[in-house]
Chain A
Amino acid sequence: MDADRLSQGQIVAAVSAIALFIISFLPWFGAPEVTGVGVGGGTVTVGGNFSLWEAENPFDIYLLIVILVALVPAVLAFAGGGDAPLAPVATTLLAAVGTVLILYQVIDTPAELDRKIGLFLGLFACAGVTIGGYLSMQEDARRERY
């Protein structure tokens, strides 16, 4: 286990990825709750808040991939394994696209649902992963130069 091997960019990306994972369980979208009588005569309530995982949307799988890719260097460092030279590029690219996708959902919310706190925190966390990945790329380039 050698956490000191982690660069500043890798730490930023890993911490942001963990934050994004936790944020994914907060409410991302919401719909006004409506209570009515169901087919069997019982009371039925529809609407409420949805986390990223509850919304019918492959976006959750995409952000999970982003989180896993961002955590690869940290996991390798803790496991004492080798480097993952393509990880910073993959992290930056996937997280940047993820940030664009979340931003798009903020602007054009699916099915005109309400925007909830998780959506905005997720946007910042994904942007954090992007910045961390970009810093890692720069650190790698500097290391190669000297």
Chain B
Amino acid sequence: MDTGRLSQGQMIAAVSAVVLLVAMFLPWIGVDAPDVPAGVPVPEGLGDDSQNVWKGSSIDVYLLITAIVAIVSALLAVSGGAEEFSFFSAATFLLGFVGVILVVVWLTIDFPDDSERKYGAFIGLAASVGIAYGGFKAMQEEVAA
């Protein structure tokens, strides 16, 4: 295994993919409890509630596939098999780009009215942008090489 074989684009995509995998377990959607004076007990079921992408959205499987493709692309480069599977960089770019569109659509058009956007969704969006950018840069580096 030789990490020196990783191009900058593959490195960006792989790191972004790991960030995306972690972000998928952070809160993406939630309901904030109403403000109550300090010391007043909040009844059960009325407190803050948030869900990660696995429970609160239907783009979980797509984002998982995108992250796996980006990581496999980097693993192939490290193991010296990237030349045989050169389409992986294009696949990383394409899936990452469409992933950005899907997360933006989910955050805007398809977002439930009575819920709030949590920080996990924005980290996931940034990670998807990173995967798309990394895939694009890796494609350019392959052409230049």
Is A57 an interface position by the 8 A CB rule?
yes
Set B59, B91, B94, B95: member contacting A58, Cβ < 8 A: B59
Q: Is the CB of B106 within 8 A of A62?
A: no
Q: Is the CB of A58 within 8 A of B98?
A: no
Which one, A2-10, A18-26, A38-46, A92-100, is touching chain B?
A92-100
Known: A58-B58, A89-B87. A94 touches B94 (CB 8 A): yes
Could you list 24 examples of A-B contacts with CB < 8 Å? A56-B112, A57-B58, A58-B58, A58-B102, A59-B58, A59-B59, A61-B101, A61-B102, A61-B105, A65-B98, A86-B90, A89-B87, A89-B90, A89-B91, A90-B94, A93-B91, A93-B94, A93-B95, A94-B94, A94-B98, A97-B95, A100-B61, A101-B61, A105-B58
Q: Is the CB of B58 within 8 A of A110?
A: yes
Chain B count of residues within 8 A CB distance of the other chain: 18
Is B65 an interface position by the 8 A CB rule?
yes
Chain A residues engaging chain B, CB cutoff 8 angstroms: 56-59, 61-62, 65, 86, 89-90, 93-94, 97, 100-101, 104-105, 110
Q: Is the CB of A101 within 8 A of B62?
A: yes
Is B141 an interface position by the 8 A CB rule?
no
The CA-CA distance from A83 to B56 in the complex, in Å, is 41
Chain A contacts of B91 at CB under 8 A?
89, 93
Chain A contacts of B87 at CB under 8 A?
89
Q: Is the CB of A57 within 8 A of B94?
A: no
Q: Return the chain B residue nearest A103 by Cβ.
A: B61
Interface string of B107-145 (1 = CB under 8 A from A): 001101000000000000000000000000000000000
Chain B contacts of A65 at CB under 8 A?
98, 101
Set A62, A86, A93, A110: member contacting B102, Cβ < 8 A: A62
The CA-CA distance from A108 to B61 in the complex, in Å, is 11
Known: A65-B101, A93-B94, A94-B98. A57 touches B62 (CB 8 A): no
The CA-CA distance from A93 to B112 in the complex, in Å, is 30
Q: Is the CB of A97 within 8 A of B62?
A: yes
The CA-CA distance from A57 to B62 in the complex, in Å, is 12
**Minimum C-beta distance from A58 to chain B (A):** 5
Chain A contacts of B61 at CB under 8 A?
100-101, 104
Chain A contacts of B62 at CB under 8 A?
62, 97, 101
Q: Return the chain B residue nearest A93 by Cβ.
A: B91
Most A C-beta atoms less than 10 A away, residue of B58, B59, B61, B62:
B58
